[in-house]
Chains A and B, each alone.
Chain A
Amino acid sequence: GAGVSQSPSNKVTEKGKDVELRCDPISGHTALYWYRQRLGQGLEFLIYFQGNSAPDKSGLPSDRFSAERTGESVSTLTIQRTQQEDSAVYLCASSSGYRQPQHFGDGTRLSIL
């Protein structure tokens, strides 16, 4: 498709389980970003990939959070031992380069029971 695709769109899991969220960026976009959006709140930066450079992980809230990206393609965000405070919408964005407009997917709504 032409836009950023995220899957699943919704995920419900029990506290303590691991979850993996997927992002397919726009083809050719070298930069990929993950954000977290809590209910009624703004967007909180998590991690940023730019080409083959080392990712900027400065926004990851704890070592339970990690993300990978293979080349300039799919990225996965993994949350281990989920906690209730991890409940949020996780948004992925991609852009054609440094400081270029970011295009967002519709997010994964994660609910931790």
Chain B
Amino acid sequence: QQQVKQSPQSLIVQKGGISIINCAYENTAFDYFPWYQQFPGKGPALLIAIRPDVSEKKEGRFTISFNKSAKQFSLHIMDSQPGDSATYFCAASGTPLVFGKGTRLSVIA
């Protein structure tokens, strides 16, 4: 019940395309859903986060969609750029955060 399942494991997207990463959770007590971006050799950096009282949150090219009834949430990266190439982790809280296993995104020109 503490798991967060993330898919896909890896993703290749053309520059300018939309990258979509999905996560699903089981614990209905989770009330905070952040996404982290991690570059090689660096720690994860908070990208965007949502709480379950809203269905969507947008910050620049990054959008979280949240479906409370389905217990799913997703990250959309619009107009994907090569600089977006990184590993993305979804997480859910409770404390501590429970992380998905990550998605390695490659944006190719």
Contacts and interface: CB of A to CB of B under 8 A. Distances in A.
Interface of A: 4, 31, 33, 35, 40-43, 45, 48, 50, 56, 59, 91, 93, 98-99, 101-107
Interface in B47-70: 49
Contacts of B93: 99
A4 B43 CA distance: 10
Interface string B98-109: 111110000000
Nearest to A104: B43
B101 A45 contact: no
Contacts of B44: 43, 91, 104
9 contacts: A4-B43, A93-B43, A98-B95, A99-B32, A99-B95, A101-B46, A104-B45, A106-B42, A106-B43
B43 A91 contact: yes
B96 to A, nearest CB: 4
B43 A45 contact: no
Interface string B79-109: 0000000000100011111111110000000
Contact of A43 (B32, B45, B89, B94): B89
Contacts of B43: 4, 91, 93, 104-107
Contacts of B98: 45
A106 B41 contact: yes
Which of A98, A99, A103 has the most C-beta atoms of chain B within 10 angstroms of its own C-beta? Answer: A99
Given A50-B95, A99-B95, 18 more contacts: A33-B97, A41-B102, A42-B102, A43-B89, A43-B97, A43-B99, A48-B95, A98-B95, A99-B32, A99-B93, A101-B34, A101-B49, A102-B46, A102-B97, A103-B46, A104-B36, A104-B44, A106-B43
